[in-house]
Structure 1
Amino acid sequence: MSDIKLPVEVEIELKKVSKVAGYLWQREWAERNAGNISMNLSSFFDKNEIIEKTKGDEFVAFDFPKDCAGFVIYITGTGCYLRDLVDMLEEVSCILYINEEANGYTIIWGGNRPNFGPTCELISHASIHLFNSKHHPENLAVVHTHPLELICMSHHELFDNEEELNRQIWMMCPEVKVFVPKGIHCTPYALSSTASLAKVTMDAFKTRNVSLWEKHGATATAPDVEKAWDFLDVANKGAKMLMMCWAAGFKPAGLSNEQLTELEQFT
C-alpha cells in the first residue's frame, strides 16, 4: 500500500461521509449492505505523486470509460454496511486511482479488511463522475440509498407521469420546491451494477436533482455528500407527507401551480 498522505480537504470530506452514513442508517435507508457513496477527489491530489508512490502496488483490472483515466475516487466497498462508515471508514471504503489507460485501478487509501473490493456499482459511480466532470464539474459526490417513501412512489402509477409526480410532491410544502427545484427523475428499471443503469442515471441528471431508480432506490449528486443527502432527504419528505395524507383518507389541498411558480424566485 502506498504512503500517500491525505490532504486536509479530503479528510474533511471523509468526515462528512461518516456523518451522512449515520443519517442513512438511522432513517432505515441502508438495510444490511444497501446503498453506496462516492466522491471524485481528483482535484485534491497530485497525479504524478500518486503514479510515483504506487509503483509496485497491487493493480486490479477493470474496464472503465476511457475518459475516466487519472480519476481519483473515494468509494464504499462491496458488501459494505453503511453504518460501519461511522467508525470503520478505512475498513469498508477506499480511495482508488484509475490508471492512464482506464483499464484498472490501484487502491491508495483504505480497504483495510480481507478480500476488500469496491462496490459492484463502481461502473455507475465512475460513469456519473465522468458525466459530472464534463457537464457539472461542481458536483463531486454521489449518494445512492433506499429512501422508503420514494421507493414506494416508484411502485405507484404516478411513476409513469414524471411531471405530475413532481407536482404532487412539490405541492406538499414550500421547502420541497425550493430545495429540490429540478425535482425527481423517474428512472426506468435497469439491473444493478450494469452499464445500462449508469446510462439511465446519467440521463436523469441532465434534468433532475434526484434519480429515483424504479423499484430500487434513489441517487443524488452534489458538490459534497451533505448536499446530496439534502436532495434525498427533502425529496423523500415530500413523498412521505403525500403518502401520509393518502393514508389518512384525504387528498391534500397542496400549493397551487401559481404558488409553486412564485417559489421559483428562491431556487
Structure 2
Amino acid sequence: MGTIKLPNEVQKELNNVSKVAGYLWQREWAERNAGNISINLTSFFSKEEVKGIGTEVPFDFPKGAAGFVIYITGTGCYLRDLIDKIEEASCILYINEDATAYSIIWGGKREGFGPTCELISHASIHLFNSINHPENLAVVHTHPLELICMSHHELFNDEEELNRQLWMMCPEIKVFVPKGIHCTPYALSSTEPLAKVTIEAFKTRNISLWEKHGATATAPDVEKAWDFLDVANKGAKLLMMCWAAGFKPAGLSNKQLTELEQFT
C-alpha cells in the first residue's frame, strides 16, 4: 500500500478528478467500469520521495517512461467511485528506473487492486506528451454518447468534413476545440496498437475519437480534458438533433468560421 504524503498541488488535482468523474457519470459516459483517467505527476515528486515504496510489479513499459510518477484509475473500477472512494478506485504509481516494473505509492486500497488494463496506452501517451506537448499532463478516456454515434457515421471517414460540421453548429465549438477531433481507426482495447493510433491522433489534435468505442482527450489538467470532450460532444449532439428533426442545419459559413480563428 502507498504511504507517501501528497503535495497540496497533487491533492488539488485529485479533487478535480473526483469532480470530473461525477460529470462523466451524470452524463452516462461512464457505464459500469467504462473509462479511465491518468495524470503525469512526475514533476511533483523527487526520486528520493518515491523510491522504495510499495512492492514492484513487473510490467513492460516504454523505456522512456522510466522514473515517471503517474496517477491512474484501477482495472474493473467504476469511475463513479472516484467521487468518494478515490483511494480505492485509483492509485499513484512509480515506474522504476529500468521501466520494467511499477510500484504503487498511494491509493489502490482495494483487495486485488491493479491499474487499468489501458496502462500501456496511458504510459505511452504520457511519454509522447512529455517530449512533444509537455503542457499536457492529463488523459481522460470516456464514452461520450453522441461522439460515439458519429464514429459509426460515414462522416467518420472524412475527418476534415466531420470537424467542419461540428464547428459550424455554434461558435463555441470552433473556439474551444480549435484543433478538432481525430477520427482514430478501430484498435483492440488494452493493446499497443491502440496506444499507437491514439498517439498519432495527439500529434495534431487534443481529442482522439476511437472508432465504435469512445473518445480520449489530453490537456494540461483533467478539467480541461473534460472541457474538450464536453464541447466536442455538444457539436455532435446538436448536429444529430437537427438530423433527427428532419432538416440539415444551415451552420456557420466558412467565412464565419475563419473569423472565429482570432479567438482560438
TM-score tier (shorter):
over 0.9
**Is residue 56 of structure 2 the alignment partner of residue 38 of structure 1?**
no
Equivalent residue in structure 2 for 1:108, among 105, 108, 111 = 105
- For residues 49 and 261 of structure 1, what CA distance do their matches in structure 2 show? 49
- For residues 11 and 92 of structure 2, what CA distance do their matches in structure 1 show? 12
- The residue matched to 2:72 in structure 1 has which SS? strand
Equivalent residue in structure 2 for 1:139, among 132, 136, 141 = 136
Give yes or no for contact 2:167–2:173 (8 Å, CA) kept in 1: yes
Q: Which runs of 5+ in 1 are unaligned?
A: none
1:109-140 Cα shifts (integer Å, max 9, x gaps): 00001000000000000000000000000100
**Is residue 162 of structure 2 the alignment partner of residue 165 of structure 1?**
yes
Give yes or no for contact 1:62–1:105 (8 Å, CA) kept in 2: yes
Determine the structure 1 residue equivalent to 2:84.
Answer: 87
Q: Which runs of 5+ in 2 are unaligned?
A: none
- For residues 42 and 115 of structure 1, what CA distance do their matches in structure 2 show? 25
- For residues 231 and 239 of structure 1, what CA distance do their matches in structure 2 show? 13
- The residue matched to 1:220 in structure 2 has which SS? strand
- The residue matched to 2:38 in structure 1 has which SS? strand
1:187-207 Cα shifts (integer Å, max 9, x gaps): 000000000000000000111
Determine the structure 1 residue equivalent to 2:72.
Answer: 75
TM-score (normalised: structure 2)? 0.99
Equivalent residue in structure 1 for 2:186, among 186, 189, 207 = 189
Determine the structure 2 residue equivalent to 1:222.
Answer: 219
Determine the structure 2 residue equivalent to 1:258.
Answer: 255
Change (3 A) 1:128 1:233: same
- For residues 242 and 49 of structure 1, what CA distance do their matches in structure 2 show? 50
Determine the structure 2 residue equivalent to 1:236.
Answer: 233
Give yes or no for contact 1:181–1:209 (8 Å, CA) kept in 2: no
Determine the structure 2 residue equivalent to 1:246.
Answer: 243
Give yes or no for contact 1:145–1:218 (8 Å, CA) kept in 2: yes
Determine the structure 1 residue equivalent to 2:48.
Answer: 48
Determine the structure 2 residue equivalent to 1:5.
Answer: 5
- The residue matched to 1:235 in structure 2 has which SS? helix
**Is residue 102 of structure 2 the alignment partner of residue 125 of structure 1?**
no
- For residues 2 and 186 of structure 2, what CA distance do their matches in structure 1 show? 39
Determine the structure 1 residue equivalent to 2:25.
Answer: 25
Give yes or no for contact 2:33–2:77 (8 Å, CA) kept in 1: yes
Post-superposition offset of 1:2: 4.5
Equivalent residue in structure 2 for 1:209, among 206, 210, 214 = 206
- For residues 46 and 200 of structure 1, what CA distance do their matches in structure 2 show? 32
Q: Paired residues, what number?
A: 264
What percentage of residue pairs aligned between the two structures are identical?
Answer: 83
TM-score (normalised: structure 1)? 0.98
- For residues 104 and 260 of structure 1, what CA distance do their matches in structure 2 show? 48
Q: Residue type matched to 1:219 in 2?
A: T
Post-superposition offset of 1:146: 0.1
Equivalent residue in structure 2 for 1:150, among 143, 147, 152 = 147
Q: Residue type matched to 1:7 in 2?
A: P
1:151-181 Cα shifts (integer Å, max 9, x gaps): 0000000000000000000000000000000
Give yes or no for contact 2:2–2:107 (8 Å, CA) kept in 1: no
Q: Residue type matched to 2:29 in 1?
A: W
Cα RMSD after superposing both structures: 0.6
- For residues 63 and 209 of structure 1, what CA distance do their matches in structure 2 show? 26
- For residues 115 and 29 of structure 1, what CA distance do their matches in structure 2 show? 25
- For residues 35 and 170 of structure 1, what CA distance do their matches in structure 2 show? 25
Post-superposition offset of 1:49: 2.2
- The residue matched to 2:186 in structure 1 has which SS? coil
- For residues 66 and 115 of structure 1, what CA distance do their matches in structure 2 show? 27
